[in-house]
A and B are shown apart, each in its own frame.
Chain A
Amino acid sequence: MSAPLPKRIIKETERLQNEPVPGISAQPHDDNARYFDVMVEGPGGSCYEGGVFNLELFLPDDYPMCPPRIRFLTRIYHPNIDRLGRICLDVLKNNWSPALQIRTILLSIQALLGAPNPEDPLNEAVAKQWKENQSEAIETAREWTKLYAQKN
């Protein structure tokens, strides 16, 4: 079961280390090169600004034919992220394409933090709050960011 790591994954990992994206990092585990510890900073100007979010990312055997599996480990108040940290993002599902990569997916996730979409919710309760009382929802998101998403 220890098939050699595809060149693609090796190259993606190298590029992530050598040409890092500001506010994003992804570090493979020593004992499993398909499993990454991911860190995404909340985008400036959003209610997640100042937050540092940890995620886990796994590249399945059929990657890149199938998308990476990824979820938030840090608690976050967001209409498109549920309580298990799962993310509702089209490029992680039907709109996945093998021409996408870890880098582009993480950028999409960062963009999702900057632009929550309560019309396509994964977390109904948060989405409802977001639609009915947006300023309060944003305030909650800020509080959660302070509570759970601080660098340690």
Chain B
Amino acid sequence: MNVIDSVGLSDFGAEGEEDSSDTSSALMRPDEQLEEKSAPAILAAHDDARALVRLVQCQLCSKPFRLPVTLPCGHSLCRDCLPEAHEREHVSYPDIPGRRKALQCPFEDCDEEHATADCNVDVTLNKIMEAIVDVVAKHTSIAGDTPTTMEVISSWDNPTGILPSSEKTIYHQLPGGRLIATFTLAAQGKLGYNTELNYPIESSAEESERAVDDTVLSDLLESLRKEVDCHVCYNLMLDPVTTFCGHTLCRRCLERVLDHSLHCPVCRRTLVIQPSLKTQPTNKTLDNLLKGLCAEALAARAEAFAQEEDEEQGDLKTPLFVCTLGFPNQPTFLRIFEPRYRLMLRRAMETNREFGMLMYNRYLEPQGDLGPVHFYHYGTMLHIVQTQTLSDGTSLIETRGLYRFRVKAHGTRDGYSVGSIERIEDVTLEEEERIEAEETSLPPVEMGDMVDEIARMSTHNLLEMGRAFVARMQSRSASWLQQRVLDIHGQPPSDAALFPYWFASVLPISDEEKYKLLSTTTVRARLKVTASWIRRIESQRWYAPSPSPSVQSE
């Protein structure tokens, strides 16, 4: 007996000691925190009622969003809460109404100016608010008389008396369960965004109130379901990005859409510039709302997406054709007769009809990390529009440029080049505008310094300089502007983002010079390149005629 007892006790003691020891709980904690981060918790209808309502409260007026606007920085606020706009100077591009005026962002972590054109009602968030208001109205009308008591927790942000630590406590009573009562309190303007609430409740009422809250939330989820699906992939929106016209898609879906067209898929408005989606902020309100309401579905979606992405962008997946220069939005015609390239073409046709076009690096100039490789490392992704196979097996293909990229790594597959690539994108429109304002407000320079002079021109004038040059050359019947060329490439685009690509496609200068456009990250930078070509051509100091064949082969 004694022996057994002592063994039992010592075991017990050891366990007890470990449990209570500080080292053990310190070791436990990091794990728990990690777990919490990787799987965001769903907010519970009853226990997290206050946090749920905060998801749809405007940080400016503290009321539930009314006609919410999502700003380019990803923050949302009511349209009526937008600050007054002011005129801007030194911004000429893009010259459309609503970009000359801007407002100062009221969110501290942003503090930038936003063009009024970028501040439109967020269609998705607005529909969500309408659905919430409907559900709240329905449940308010059927709510019993038993009110929910809400106690405002006194804090520095939210003094309940003259002194922050005032003893006086404020209570509110509203019917409908915690969720409805809290939302109604916010709608009445009595619940500050940062205000916390206590819900003192008699334990007898707790169960029924919990049941009511669960019903309200499941009703809400049901009616929100269709609003939070992406219009392109029909999945729950993942990393939602909102365009200036107020339409929201998954970041990846919007990227894909923009590869093919510069129009919003929902309203068809022209998206002024290909937004640099890498830096485009997430719609924070929507993102938090989705995380709070359907964290599990979202996590599953994110996992599936990561897998897809892995498969797609795995190492060396992109077929590369080392041949010539291509430009976004411009056609390139190719004649393909070597079997290895016909194989590449067929594989591209079987998948997404895309392959990367790279220029041949004859003198093996070093290409960044890649060193002296047989191609220039900036290229353009081409989409195959149509192919025609001749009787001798030669393929004639028509392609259109999608986007620019840089080769990060490369290899060969069945005789043709393959690589892993990263996209080259323009900076955001706001950054573009900031750069223009900065450069054009520099003090003027003495005549004669071409580079400095061009650098100070407004983006609008840089474009006009290009278009005027084209018009002048056309009036002189320049051979590179013959009808045949215009039939293929179209008239000079009025869109400043695209004009340089068109210009480079038709102008007979060396490909090495044109190649400079592929690594630019602003519309201005591209227009400065084209402006320098024009200045040099006009000063007759520089002209390197070379054929600009529309049919290339390797």
Asked whether B351 lies within 8 Å of A97 as measured between CB atoms, the reply is no
Question: Chain A contacts of B265 at CB under 8 A?
Answer: 97-99
Closest residue of B by beta carbon distance from A12: B234
Task: Please give the distance in Å from B429's CB to the nearest CB on chain A.
Answer: 22
B233, B259, B351, B353: the one within 8 Å of A6 (CB): B233
A-contact 0/1 string along B246-270, CB 8 Å cutoff: 0000000100110111010110100
The yes or no answer to B352 lying at the interface (CB within 8 A) is yes
A151 at the interface (CB under 8 A from B): no
- Bound CA span A97–B257, Å: 9
CA distance A12 to B233 in the complex (A): 10
A99–B257 Cα distance when bound, in Å, is 10
**B532 vs chain A, min Cβ distance (A):** 35
A118 contacts partner chain B, Cβ-Cβ < 8 Å: no
B350 CB-CB contact with A under 8 Å: yes
Residues of chain B lying within 8 A (CB to CB) of residue A97: 261, 263, 265-266, 268
A1-B350, A65-B257, A66-B260 in contact; A98/B234 too (CB < 8 A)?
no
Asked if A11 is at the interface of the complex by the 8 Å CB criterion, the answer is: yes
Known A65-B256, A65-B259, A97-B265; judge A8-B232 contact (CB<8 A).
yes
CB neighbours of A7 from chain B (8 A): 233-235
Question: Chain B: how many interface residues by the 8 Å CB criterion?
Answer: 19
Shortest distance from the beta carbon of B263 to any chain A beta carbon, whole Å: 7
Contact (Cβ within 8 A) A61 B263: no
Residues of B within 8 A of A1 (CB): 350
- Nearest A residue to B268, CB-CB: A97
Least Cβ–Cβ distance between B242 and chain A, in angstroms: 15
Contact of B260 among A61, A65, A95 (CB under 8 A): A65
A31 interface hit (Cβ, 8 Å)? no
Contact A98 B232 (CB under 8 A): yes
Those of A20-67 within 8 Å (CB) of chain B: 61-62, 64-66
Smallest CB separation, B246 vs chain A (Å):
14
In the complex, B410 has a CB within 8 A of chain A: no
Residues in chain A near residue B350, CB distance under 8 A: 1, 61
Tell me the minimal C-beta distance from B348 to chain A in angstroms.
Answer: 10
Which chain A residue lies CB-closest to B259?
Answer: A65
Which of A12, A65, A98 contacts B231 (CB under 8 A)? A98
Q: Report how far A61 CA is from B347 CA in the complex, Å.
A: 12
- Interchain CA distance A19-B351 in the complex, whole Å: 31
Q: A7-B235, A8-B235, A98-B231 are in contact. List 20 more A-B contacts (CB 8 A).
A: A6-B233, A8-B232, A8-B233, A11-B234, A61-B350, A61-B351, A61-B352, A62-B352, A62-B353, A65-B256, A66-B260, A97-B261, A97-B265, A97-B266, A98-B232, A98-B256, A98-B257, A98-B265, A99-B232, A99-B266
16 A-B pairs with CB atoms under 8 Å apart are: A1-B350, A7-B233, A8-B235, A11-B234, A12-B234, A61-B352, A64-B232, A65-B260, A97-B265, A97-B268, A98-B232, A98-B253, A98-B256, A98-B265, A99-B231, A99-B232
